[in-house]
Amino acid sequence: MIFLEIKNATVIGAGIMGHGIAEVLALSGLNVVVNDVSQDFLDRARQNVQASLSKMKDSGKINESAMNDTLARLSFSTDIKNSVTKADLIVEAVPEVLDIKRNVIMEVESSCSPEAIIASNTSNFRITELQNGSLRPQRIVGMHFFNPPVVLKLVEVVKGEKTDDRTFEAVYDLSRKIGKTPIRVVKDSPGFVVNRINAPESLFFCLLLDRKIDTPASIDLFAKSQGLPMGPYELMDYVGIDTVVHSLEYYAKELSPEYGKCSVFKQMMEQNKLGKKTGHGFYTWENGKAQIPSGEPSSKVELMDVLAIELNEAVKLIEEGVASPDDIETGVRLGMNRPFGPISVAQGLTNAEIKKKLEDLGSKFESSVFAPARSIAEGKLKEVISGNTGIRKEEKPPSTTAEAQIDEPVLMVKKDRVATVYLNNGRLNLLNSAVLDGLEKRLLEVREDKEVNVVVVTGKGTVFSAGAELSQFFSGGIDFMQASRRGQSIFRLLSEMNKITIAEIKGYALGGGFELSLACDIRVSSQEAKIGFPELQRGLVPGWGGTQRLAKLIGSSRASYLILTAERITGKEAFDMGIVTRTFGAETIDEDVQKFAHDLSRKVAPGAAYLAKLLVNKGSETSLDDGLTMEAISMGLVYGTEDLKEGISSFMQKREPEFKGR
């Protein structure tokens, strides 16, 4: 499919979302006009964009030239007709009122190019409703950013009933080009994915107060004790109670009248207690922060209540064909700023326990909204989340270049006889289930590649790995133990592989990242790298081989000290202790390690290297006599090989060997 070329954009609405979207588009190289009815709104938007860009420059995310270029691509206008005349894309970001949005779209259509795309940033309204009465409904699509647009990665790309494929794919493609992670909402639904999953939660938290089950502060303290950055009521205060009420009213009309049962929120709106925007809501707001009373976390709400409600709504979305399980998982994780989404939760729980929890909630609150979805009621939870839904998933062609694999959690680049495996999970390259799956996939692939002699493991960017993503969902101790065993088995591929494996440590190698490096045959590091085991400070122990491999490497005394004190050491100190064998400068380590690996791949016979690895690793686990016997047997195995003949011949002829692994 040939995507439309989008160079010029217009954003209608200069509010928090509007000017944030305009900034994102301009940062990505588009010329952007920001339009609003008031010059005061535009002046405020310009100041906010300038402040945001200045903050990015000060933090080193962009340089001064990029900041100035972005500002130069932005213009501001109160004339809607002139604002949209040259636009390839018009993003509507006006208040969440259906009639206002429809009127803006009709006005835009009368002045824009026939080929222009009109994208709505609505968070709730079905795109099909915005297409009603349109002259070109096929050119209208949902492009829902999340607040703040400059920070959050998610964009929901929503297909209305009349949106054509060309428009839909053009906006999806653009969302990727501007650095966002889009998900496909292929069937129009109120709230799309993230807000649709939030809808029954909002009702749940309202009914808790309606029935005086507990206080907002206690429930928020409980939520924070579970690792969430904000409790539900603090978040609603931040968003605006009026916004929550309007959303529930819309869902009551579109999804179920039971969304209209909530009374506490309506009373607050009538009293103008809207949260942060009025200074008072569930809490008093001072200097942009909610003043939450101290107290004890609630004991009347369970984490499983919320997880079951989210999962139930996610299953409904899959059943309705709204989005794929993968896109739902990505949407909740990125849109709600969570470490995991409902699909991950489902994989760690049984159908029976989810069904029982939902039946209990439905009975307790006398609401069918919480009743088990059809697939859960029929015991088919695992089947429905497996992805056998017929919903299109983005196809990623196989490739050995990092550029083509850029969205994958683990990348691999092969050059000559060296394969470099890159962890690719954000700035810190944290290890989670997706990274472990990707690492296993790459290692199994390269293990069978007879053209590769050396494997380098490192992190994309300036950090090796700062450790495991601790907030992943686990349903219990057995589940956690199995995750430990899985990590151990994947790391073991490195130590038992028929290749020489090198860990290139830079930035941080902490916890699971340090354990990953210990599984490699050779460790090299920048002198400034920070290395250590912080597990005991988190109430954990190293669980991916760290206690065993480190003790075998440097002795139990030094290993005990590093593990029990959680002290971080530098790459230079690690070299002095024998943990790493070479150090390089931080600025040149990538280049230096590649040269080291390529030199090694040419001068060492791969078959002999594999046997030597086995002798070293297994020799420490057996007696000296047995080890010497294994060594002698290995000598017999290499005798008569082509590589032995080539090694001797090249030595006699004073040339570089050309080993074939035979």
Q: Which residues are catalytic?
A: 515, 535
**Gap between the terminal Cα atoms of the chain:** 47
Residue tagged 């983005």 (tokens): 394
Q: How far apart are CA 133 and CA 117, in angstroms?
A: 16
Handedness of CA 433, 435, 439, 441 (dihedral sign): positive
**334, 340, 345, 348: CA torsion to nearest 10:** 150
Contact partners, residue 126, CB within 8 Å, separation at least 6: 160, 188, 189, 190, 254
Q: How far apart are CA 276 and CA 237, in angstroms?
A: 6
Cα 111 versus chain centre, distance? 39
User: Residue 33: which H helix or E strand, with range?
Assistant: strand 31-35
Q: How far apart are CA 147 and CA 17, in angstroms?
A: 7
Degrees to nearest 5, angle at CA 465 with 463 and 470: 135
Q: How far is CA 69 from CA 5, 48, 66, 73, 74, in A?
A: 21, 16, 5, 6, 9
Degrees to nearest 5, angle at CA 31 with 26 and 35: 90
Dihedral pair phi/psi, residue 61, rounded to 5°: -75, -30
Amino acid, res. 384: V
Are 64 and 107 within 8 A, CB to CB?
no
Q: How far apart are CA 411 and CA 395, in angstroms?
A: 16
Q: How far apart are CA 193 and CA 314, in angstroms?
A: 8
Phi-psi region of 202 (alpha: psi -120 to 50; beta: other; left: phi over 0): alpha
**181, 183, 189, 194: CA torsion to nearest 10:** -50
Other residues' Cβ atoms within 10 Å of the Cβ of residue 534: 16
Radius of gyration of the chain from Cα atoms? 29
Q: How far apart are CA 370 and CA 358, in angstroms?
A: 6
Dihedral pair phi/psi, residue 12, rounded to 5°: -95, 115
Q: How far apart are CA 251 and CA 246, in angstroms?
A: 9
Contact partners, residue 360, CB within 8 Å, separation at least 6: none
Q: Is 424 helix (H, G, I), strand (E, B) or coil?
A: coil
